[in-house]
Structure 1
Amino acid sequence: MTALHAEAPTGLAEPWGGASRVVDLGGPVHWVDFAAPDAAGPAPAGAPLVLVHGLGGSHLNWVQVAPALAEGRRVVALDLPGFGLTPAAGRDTGVRANAALLGRFIDEVVGEPAVLVGNSMGGMVSLLLAHSQPERVVGLVLVDPSVPTGLSTLDRMVAVQFGLYATPVVGEQFLARMRQRYSTRQRVAGTIRLCFADAARADAAVLEAGAALLAYRDSLPRAEAEFLRAARSLLTVLRRGRSYADLIRAVTAPVLLIHGEEDRLVAVAAARRLAAANPHWQTEWLAGVGHTPQLEVPERFVAIVEPWLAALPR
């Protein structure tokens, strides 16, 4: 098994009951087990949950909801290549490559079909897998997933930022300048302001863990290139709006869509169009909430997800 860098902060999820693991899937993949099955205990109540983070995210995006979701079922969160504690190690960090890796993770680590809970880019990755390998997916919880947003509803700051990401050389220079100008805590705080409707809701312990993880990623030689490859592949899928919409409609797994009405990255208008095109989905709109409900309002998030999971066919 390939090991992580010796200085990797693998214990960040321990305060929330997460046990750090590493598996070799063409290179190291870091993941966190929040509820390892007990051979002597009762069988899990439902399908396992695999938590899939968004662009720039990690397993830490789930620590405030994973312990509650893990009561009675197995819950794991992985760091996709190029994010968190998983280096690219020569692997493609684009969304389609990460969807394929997610399928392999389900086969080799989880060992049975799973419910995918994907936020932002993680929602796109989960949809791509559910379309290409439906036998591995029991259901989907899409949390403010990446979907096409019309220019009329696109947040100006977000449009500028992703425009920079999309431009060769400029994107690299922009990320390098941000790293030089701002501390890890300042950058994490900036992400919170972008992703939350109310930054005061952020948990201090999660912020500290996020800053420690970002400091580690700053020490890696190709972290910015790996991030930009993922961002650019995401934008490529979004630009092919019609084919992406057709792919989404072809997904047969049950879907729960949760979306914050104050989301600046994926406008709620775009999510409402997505829901209208897929009327068989269950949808939940969260007033006064931004792009990461599982971090901003974790109790409300769990209260929505738990009944939906309980209603899934066994």
Structure 2
Amino acid sequence: MKTIMIVLVVLLANTAIMAQDKESDFQSIEVYGQTLKYVEKGQGETLILLHGLGSNSERWIKNIKVLAQNYNVISLDQIGFGYSDKPLMPYKGSTLVEFLNGFMVQKGIKKATLIGNSMGGWVSALFAVTHPEKLDKLIIVDPAFLLGLPEDANADDIYAFANPSTVEDMASYVKRIFFQNEELLRPENLKQSLIKKLSWNDGYTVHQIIKSLLQGKDLMVDSLEDINAKTLIIQGQHDPIVPMETINTLKEKIKDNITIIYENSGHSPMIEEPNRFNTDVLNFLNK
């Protein structure tokens, strides 16, 4: 049961906490007949920010403005999440990679740096292997799913836990994911987070992604060594979702990497320690 609960809280990292943007702030583009929503700011080389499971582009609210002072920053609602279309199909990691590549083609982006948190880290790493010619650098933040899920994980249990229906459920999420959670636990913030999460209606997508992982699809156990891009790994020390064993494996397998541990963060360092995060990312990109 303990193992199941650890898996269940993966989805926590990606709730609507800290959401501030409105749907009207997003731009739209059509990929494979589906509408993808995204926020784009700044000029220069392109950075594409990828959120985690059950979240959307608002996850990067504390980072976009700073990074956009030097780069063209795109924060994307991946297919099936946030304000993007949610076609009923068997989602898996390669599905998200396919739509990310299609997005870049439609936008005329020949090469970009990917910054992915949690599930977004998995998608970014998969992209690094399948489309290396289109990747400049790789930044993965508390990356989940690269090595799969525990054998006793249950898709239905995760689905139920990942779709909070009460403010109490949302509070449980926050306590498990954020090391610094006092502000997020205020009743009004919990209420707004629940409203936002329910409005996205991404439960089907979440369920399909988890099912694909349980089936062993698009895991990276045997392909981490194929990542050739210069890579920055950022990990929250208090993250109950991605164990240090996973980070140690990534450090060993990814050829050219720098790993930084954030002592005051859980699963979302870009929110909990945004100033340090933004500085570390810019320093890495400037090397």
TM-score range, shorter chain: 0.7 to 0.9
Identical-residue share of aligned pairs (%):
23
Q: Which residue of 2 aligns with 1:215?
A: 198
Per mean C-alpha deviation after superposition, the further-off stretch among 198-207 and 289-298 is 198-207
Partner-residue secondary structure (3-state), 2:105: helix
2:172 to 180, 190, 201: 190
Contact 2:159 2:203 in 1 (8 A): yes
Question: In the aligned structure 2, how far is the partner of 1:203 from the partner of 1:300?
Answer: 23
- Which runs of no fewer than 5 residues in structure 2 stay unpaired? 1-18
Q: Which amino acid aligns with 2:227?
A: V
1:24 to 26, 30, 33: 30
Partner-residue secondary structure (3-state), 1:246: coil
Partner-residue secondary structure (3-state), 2:137: strand
Contact 2:46 2:111 in 1 (8 A): yes
Q: Which residue of 2 aligns with 1:40?
A: none
TM-score (norm 1): 0.75
Q: Which amino acid aligns with 2:203?
A: E
1:301 counterpart = 2:277: yes
Q: Which amino acid aligns with 1:72?
A: N
Per mean C-alpha deviation after superposition, the further-off stretch among 261-270 and 223-232 is 223-232
Question: In the aligned structure 1, how far is the partner of 2:176 from the partner of 2:217?
Answer: 20
Question: In the aligned structure 2, how far is the partner of 1:70 from the partner of 1:209?
Answer: 27
Decide whether aligned partners of structure 1 residues 256 and 31 sit closer, same or farther in structure 2, where only a CA change above 3 A counts: same
Question: In the aligned structure 1, how far is the partner of 2:162 from the partner of 2:119?
Answer: 19
Q: Which residue of 1 aligns with 2:229?
A: 253
CA-CA distance at 1:93 after TM superposition? 2.6
Question: In the aligned structure 1, how far is the partner of 2:124 from the partner of 2:105?
Answer: 15
Q: Which residue of 1 aligns with 2:70?
A: 72
CA-CA distance at 1:109 after TM superposition? 2.1
1:60 counterpart = 2:43: no
1:13 to 6, 21, 24: 21
Q: Which residue of 2 aligns with 1:265?
A: 241
Q: Which residue of 2 aligns with 1:4?
A: none
CA-CA distance at 1:63 after TM superposition? 0.7
Kindly provide the CA deviation profile for residues 30-84 of structure 1, in whole angstroms up to 9, marking residues without a partner as x: 111132x4xxxxxx2xx21000011111111101111111112100111112211
Decide whether aligned partners of structure 1 residues 212 and 261 sit closer, same or farther in structure 2, where only a CA change above 3 A counts: same
- Which runs of no fewer than 5 residues in structure 1 stay unpaired? 1-10, 38-43, 152-158
Question: In the aligned structure 1, how far is the partner of 2:170 from the partner of 2:143?
Answer: 21
Count of residue correspondences: 266
1:287 counterpart = 2:263: yes
1:231 to 185, 210, 214: 210
Question: In the aligned structure 1, how far is the partner of 2:185 from the partner of 2:46?
Answer: 26
2:118 to 116, 120, 135: 120
CA-CA distance at 1:135 after TM superposition? 1.3
CA-CA distance at 1:266 after TM superposition? 0.6
Decide whether aligned partners of structure 1 residues 175 and 277 sit closer, same or farther in structure 2, where only a CA change above 3 A counts: closer
Q: Which residue of 2 aligns with 1:200?
A: 182
CA-CA distance at 1:245 after TM superposition? 2.6
Decide whether aligned partners of structure 1 residues 71 and 275 sit closer, same or farther in structure 2, where only a CA change above 3 A counts: same
Decide whether aligned partners of structure 1 residues 91 and 130 sit closer, same or farther in structure 2, where only a CA change above 3 A counts: same
Contact 2:227 2:254 in 1 (8 A): no
CA-CA distance at 1:269 after TM superposition? 2.6
Partner-residue secondary structure (3-state), 2:81: coil
Q: Which amino acid aligns with 2:253?
A: A
Greater Rg over alpha carbons, structure = 1
Q: Once superposed, what is the RMSD of the aligned Cα atoms?
A: 3.0
